[in-house]
Amino acid sequence: MKDLGPVKKIFGMEIHRNKKSKRLWLSQQGYVEKVLDKFNMSNAKPVSTSLPKHFKLYVDQCLKIDVEVEYMSMVTYANVVGCLMYAMVCTRPNLAHIVSQVCKFMSNSVKRHCEVMKWILRYLKGTIGHDIMFDSQQGDLSIAGYVDCDYVGDLDDRKSTTWYVFTLVSGFVCSKSIIQSLVAMSTTEVEYMAVTKASNGVVWLAGLVKELGIEQGEV
């Protein structure tokens, strides 16, 4: 019997520790480098935003001509989406919204969608060193939540999107990006729907941390 050495990598996630500061970081730099190399984007010019406003995605773009059908037959669109989803789930929650957007065209993608995919890979190139930090420093044990929304951002059905994120002791613990189920008639209605969805998340998360022995006051 002997003490184990500390784990440095698990499921493609790299683990870095600083015992003095009692901090731990999770990153996927090696994984992202392999993804960029796999799709010939290792030398791509990096960008700082995951999706600029000039990229508009909607169903009518899927009316493909023969030239695009031939082009898409050589593109592994679903494979790229799968790689992005794994990074999103593990260490890159900032990809949640854009991944939810490109997933809608998995079965009917066109060249324009591939251009968006390349942009996302360029964004990964520019943020390759980003990671998630876990800090053992004691602080406020109250859950903090942030919520936002757009108005009729979906160009196909005119529905809006809700985004929210929760932190505990200043650390990221939960986030979501989801299309609202109803078409809102005003920006005020959109905001109420977003806050309602986030409040559901509050109830679930407060119950979870209570089971872990952390009593909650106001969120």
Whether residue 63 is found in the same domain as residue 165? no
Q: Is the pLDDT of residue 149 over 60?
A: yes
- Token pair 């559901």: residue: 200
| Segment 128-140, tens digit of pLDDT | 989 888 877 666 7
121 and 189, same domain (yes or no): no
In sequence order, which residues have a C-beta less than 8 Å from that of residue 117 and are 6 or more positions away? 77, 80, 81, 102
Is pLDDT of 59 > 80?
no
Residues 42 and 124 occupy one common structural domain: yes
CA dist 98 and 47 (Å) reads: 15
Q: Are residues 94 and 173 both part of a single domain? A: no
Q: Which structural domain range is residue 120 located in?
A: 9-131
Res 77: pLDDT: 79
188 and 94 belong to one structural domain = no
Boundary of a domain, candidates 131, 151, 171 = 131
- Residues 71, 178 within the same domain: no
Q: Point out the domain boundary residue: 131, 155, 173.
A: 131
- Is 156 a member of any domain? yes
Together in a domain, 57 and 39: yes
Please name the residues in contact with 93: beta carbons below 8 A apart, sequence gap of 6 or more.
Answer: 165, 172, 175
Residue 177 is assigned to a structural domain of this protein: yes
Mean pLDDT value across the chain:
83
| Total tally of structural domains belonging to the chain | 2
Whether 1 is covered by a domain: the verdict is no
Query: Same structural domain for residues 112 and 201?
Result: no
Q: Are residues 17 and 125 in the same domain?
A: yes
How does residue 126 score in pLDDT terms, banded at 50, 70 and 90? very high
Do 58 and 119 reside in the same domain of the chain? yes
Q: Is residue 219 part of a domain?
A: no
Q: What is the pLDDT of residues 63-83, one digit of tens each?
A: 565 555 665 555 677 888 899
Closest CA to 100 of 87, 115, 81: 81
Q: Coil, helix or strand for 133?
A: strand
Q: Are residues 120 and 47 part of one domain?
A: yes
